[in-house]
Each structure stands twice: as C-alpha cells, then as structure tokens.
Amino acid sequence: MELNRLCVIYYSPTHTSRSVARAVADGMGIARREEIDLTTDRNTGPLPLRNAICLVAAPVYGGLTAPVALSRLRRLQAENCIAIPLVTYGNRDYEDALVQLRDVLQQQGFTPLCGAAFIGEHSYSRPGMPIAEGRPDETDLRTARDFGHRAYESLLRQTGTTDAPDVTARDFAMTYDRPLEQLITPVPMKGNVPYKTLGPSTPQAPVVSDLCYGCGECVDWCPTGAISLQDGRSVTQVNQCTKCCACVKFCPVGARTFDTPYTAMLHQKFSARREPELFI
C-alpha cells in the first residue's frame, strides 16, 4: 500500500484558507502536488481521491465549518487517504469547527492524522474597524510551514516508514503494509461533540454604490452564484448570500460595502492577537 501525492483542497472565498493550506503544503515539501479549489465549484458529482495525503482547509462561520464548504466537501470520496483538517477563523473562536471538519472527512472515507486552526482576516473587517487585518501574516505562514513539516514527520513515524521517500521525486511514494486506520492514531482536537447549534441567519448582503460599472469581478468571485449583472450593475440575491464578503474585498473600485453592527463589536472585543492552535 502507498501514499503517492499531496492534495491541497480548500473552500476559500477570501483566500485565507487557501494561503494557510498552501503554506502547510510547502512545509511538507512534497513536489507531487495538486489542488482542488471548491470555492466557486457548484458541481454536485462525486470527487474520488485515492492514495493521497490531503490538506483540507475551510473557514469558520459562527464557530462551525462554513455550511457551503461542508456541502462541497461531502462530494469527496476517499480511498486510502490521509486527511489533515485546517480551519481559519476571524480572531474570535473556532469552537467546534475543527472537530466537525475532521468528522465529515472521516465520514467521506479519510483517515484523520492531525489538524490545526489558524487566524484569517475576518470577512466583516473594514478600514477603521480592522479584525485580524492582514492575517494570515508571515508569522502565521511560518507556523503553518512548520506544522506541515511536523505533520509529515508524524505520518512517517506512524506508518513505520524508516526509509523516507524522496519528496522531490515525480514518482514519490510512501509505502506501508497495513491499512491506514490500523496504523494512524488520530490526535485529539479542540471542540465539542455534539457540535454547537446555530440560530437562523439574518438575510443580509453587501450593498452596491454608484461606483459600480458592471465589470463582473464580483460575479466571478461569489462562491454561491448570488450575484448577477442587471442593467450594467451588480445585483445580489440576498437569500443566496453567505456574507463571505469576497465581493467587497475584491471589487476593483470599492463599489461594494457591507455594514453590520457586528463589525464594531468584533473590533472592540476581539482585536487582541490570537495565535494558531496546532494538534499534532
């Protein structure tokens, strides 16, 4: 039996989860590497994976893994695959998100190895009221690379691989003689089971100013297809908006804004720097 590549999988509307996952992958150093970006992929068919070390990254919404991310990750069908769940949160707390992501991956056939929670700039952050602005920063990414290195060492150790394969080789392969679930002892992670319960979300979406000239950037970035162009301006279907604010952050002329009283509250109560939490 073997693991023969590294697969980086993410749902990342504002690129924070993607940045963390790529940094962890860099720390592992495995050159035979592929990416699966589920952010704007609204297909529903299965995504089979076989013989892969998989880094799976998603953002936290309200202390749980983003529901759209979970829906798309349930397309994955793993056979003989390691999973390393990674969550990013906006400096408040990730609560049950990491164990929830771990459990969903296990249900899809993965063998969890370890996991981590990192901080990313909150989707509600804005000029004058920053919330984890600019994160993950270089310190975070250095921690992520170190985590990847340590995770790979743990995998070598638990599979009994004494002759480490060449991570730079095109034919990279880590071989072992028993099923992964018999070799790997998953690391306990922070979080509760059963998971917390969220109340209904208030329908709300970014608003568009007269600066909008209908370039369509927001249409391309929206992960749920909530935005369309009508009469030369962007329009949002509020009931489809997940408030990820990718359209706000990536609008080239600043034509989209999202005003919510939660921004001021989060800025006031959760400005103190938090650090990544690693479970390895």
C-alpha 11/C-alpha 209 separation (Å) is 28
Phi (first) and psi of residue 248, to 5 degrees: -70, -45
- Three-class DSSP labels, the chain: CEECEEEEEECCCCCHHHHHHHHHHHHHCCCCEEEEECCCCCCCCCEEEECEEEEEEEEEECCEECHHHHHHHCCEEEECCEEEEEEEECCCCCCCHHHHHHHHHHHCCCEECCEEEEECCCCCCECCECCCCCCCCHHHHHHHHHHHHHHHHHHHHHCCCCCCCCCCCCCCCEECCCCHHHHCCCCCCCCCCCCCCCCCCCCCCCEECCCCCCCCHHHHHCCCCCEEEECCEEEECHHHCCCCCHHHHHCCCCCEECCCHHHHHHHHHCCCCCCCEEEC
- CA 98, CA 88: separation in Å to the nearest integer? 9
Bridge partners (DSSP) of residue 82 are: 53, 111
What pLDDT was estimated at residue 182?
93
Sorted by where each starts, the structural domains of the chain and their CATH numbers stand as: 2-195+274-279 (3.40.50.360), 207-259 (3.30.70.20)
**In the prediction, which pLDDT does 162 show?**
80
Is the distance from CB of 90 to CB of 122 less than 8 angstroms? yes
**pLDDT of res. 188:** 95
Written as tens digits, the pLDDT of the chain (280 aa) is 899 999 999 999 999 999 999 999 999 999 999 999 999 999 999 999 999 999 999 999 999 999 999 999 999 999 999 999 999 999 999 999 999 999 999 999 999 999 999 999 999 998 899 999 999 999 999 999 999 999 999 999 999 988 889 999 999 999 998 999 999 998 999 999 999 998 877 889 999 999 999 999 999 999 999 999 998 899 999 999 999 999 999 999 999 999 888 888 888 898 899 999 999 9
What integer pLDDT is reported at residue 246 of this predicted model? 96
